[in-house]
Structure 1
């Protein structure tokens, strides 16, 4: 019986609990009793609930697995560039090399590193570009760029570079890249390999290691961590693992002494935990 009927009979009105009062407008459809859901609606509700639960559980399980399982290893030697693309790029660069006013035209010539070839050098924003010209064939054999490393701090970046090369197929395997890398090492740069390498680049680094000290490092927290002269294949396959060739005037002891090369990250973390 509602409050109006009780009032007409002279009976006191029953107070309505705050929790039972409706907040809906009297004109709102939700203020009136609603019919029970149809069979189809109940079926949809039953189907949607497990799907939502499964989705939430799947997300939670995936997140837990990412925290527990080791990172997936990547194949590091997997860079294969199409020859046609390299040739087209070298043709464009050769035209710029002989176009007055172009930045590449203002390159300086390096002393002859190999007979029959001309080596042009320019520096831009701390990165060094070496273009190798074959004047007899009026074409560019290829080029190497010594990039700065964004993975290390500014202090370390002054002494290390990451070289990347592109050479036409006819000039590959002739020791040109090796000569250019040697020029960079003689300048005192320590060369750090890229995250991935072609088979040819990997062979080049191994060949240079016969003349220069080579070590494995891990790039973590903007630092180079020393992993030694040999590491397990699984560790070598991780994307933060690189090789470093020591430039003229550098030794492992000097890199450590100047704070450019740090102990392995795992060992450093263990030492911190022991001190704590």
Structure 2
């Protein structure tokens, strides 16, 4: 079973936190500022379905992978969710039991850009959903499960437009912060709001803070122009 809380190895316990940016006005300003965030392209639904079908075949024929998958208590439109952990990374599969097919896949990757201290607290999520199952809230349910369990998220170097929109939606319920990864792999918290154009650099990221977690657990303060 997956460990939880601010450190990925701390005891489970979800403590509610409040978003320090109340109201939609400031979030709207953030959304405007973050339009310059590096946006990646999406794969076609057909490519994703082929990838998922091959993945499903490997899972069915590899008993170690199959036996390592654990059920998750998530409920959405009759889908079944399974979790697998390997080398500190976590894989969540959404399966349609009627079609016996994987329809969505989320991986919580380790960040090679950060130091060991930060690695205990943050993972970078990447989700893929096949056509016909998008806009059902699958990625949102999985991300909320992770955050509510007391674990935090950081964006990767790039985001799809859909992922960026999901982060903005989640920021209404979870603390959102801007950070920079410095040359020593430390995460520096940035003043808010950041100046326009700041998010064009590859070392700037967004963080969603999990329930009961504190940014101070894994960040340092940095001057905006530092």
For residues 227 and 117 of structure 1, the distance between their equivalents in structure 2, rounded to whole angstroms, comes to: 39
For residues 191 and 172 of structure 2, the distance between their equivalents in structure 1, rounded to whole angstroms, comes to: 16
User: Which of the numbers 198, 202, 206 marks the counterpart of 1:239?
Assistant: 202
Structure 1 residues not aligned, in runs of 5+: 1-73, 270-276
SS at match of 1:93: helix
CA 226–75 in structure 1, closer or farther in 2 if over 3 Å, else same: closer
For residues 229 and 242 of structure 1, the distance between their equivalents in structure 2, rounded to whole angstroms, comes to: 13
Q: TM-score with structure 1 length normalisation?
A: 0.64
User: Which of the numbers 214, 220, 224 marks the counterpart of 1:262?
Assistant: 220
For residues 82 and 112 of structure 1, the distance between their equivalents in structure 2, rounded to whole angstroms, comes to: 26
Q: TM-score with structure 2 length normalisation?
A: 0.78
Match of 2:131 in 1: 169
SS at match of 2:128: strand
Task: Choose between structure 1 and 2: higher strand proportion.
Answer: 2
Say whether residues 1:127 and 2:85 are aligned partners: no
Asked if 1 retains the 8 angstrom alpha-carbon contact of 2:191 and 2:224, the reply is no
Asked if 2 retains the 8 angstrom alpha-carbon contact of 1:94 and 1:140, the reply is yes
Structure number with larger C-alpha Rg = 1
Match of 2:50 in 1: 88
Asked if 2 retains the 8 angstrom alpha-carbon contact of 1:217 and 1:224, the reply is yes
Say whether residues 1:194 and 2:156 are aligned partners: yes
For residues 233 and 95 of structure 1, the distance between their equivalents in structure 2, rounded to whole angstroms, comes to: 46
For residues 193 and 224 of structure 2, the distance between their equivalents in structure 1, rounded to whole angstroms, comes to: 16
Q: 1:21-100 to 2 correspondence within 5 Å?
A: 76-99=38-61
User: Which of the numbers 136, 141, 144 marks the counterpart of 2:98?
Assistant: 136
C-alpha displacement at 1:227, in angstroms?
1.5
Task: Choose between structure 1 and 2: higher helix proportion.
Answer: 1
CA 137–233 in structure 1, closer or farther in 2 if over 3 Å, else same: farther
User: Which of the numbers 58, 61, 68 marks the counterpart of 1:106?
Assistant: 68
Match of 2:117 in 1: 155
CA 100–236 in structure 1, closer or farther in 2 if over 3 Å, else same: closer
Say whether residues 1:117 and 2:75 are aligned partners: no
For residues 213 and 145 of structure 1, the distance between their equivalents in structure 2, rounded to whole angstroms, comes to: 21
Asked if 1 retains the 8 angstrom alpha-carbon contact of 2:106 and 2:125, the reply is yes
C-alpha displacement at 1:92, in angstroms?
1.2
C-alpha displacement at 1:264, in angstroms?
1.6
| Number of residue equivalences | 190
Asked if 1 retains the 8 angstrom alpha-carbon contact of 2:194 and 2:224, the reply is no
For residues 65 and 208 of structure 2, the distance between their equivalents in structure 1, rounded to whole angstroms, comes to: 30
| Structure 1 consecutive aligned stretches of length 4 or more whose deviation exceeds 4 Å | none
C-alpha displacement at 1:162, in angstroms?
0.5
SS at match of 1:170: coil
User: Which of the numbers 115, 136, 144 marks the counterpart of 1:182?
Assistant: 144
Q: Deviations over 1:25-65 (max 9, x none)?
A: xxxxxxxxxxxxxxxxxxxxxxxxxxxxxxxxxxxxxxxxx
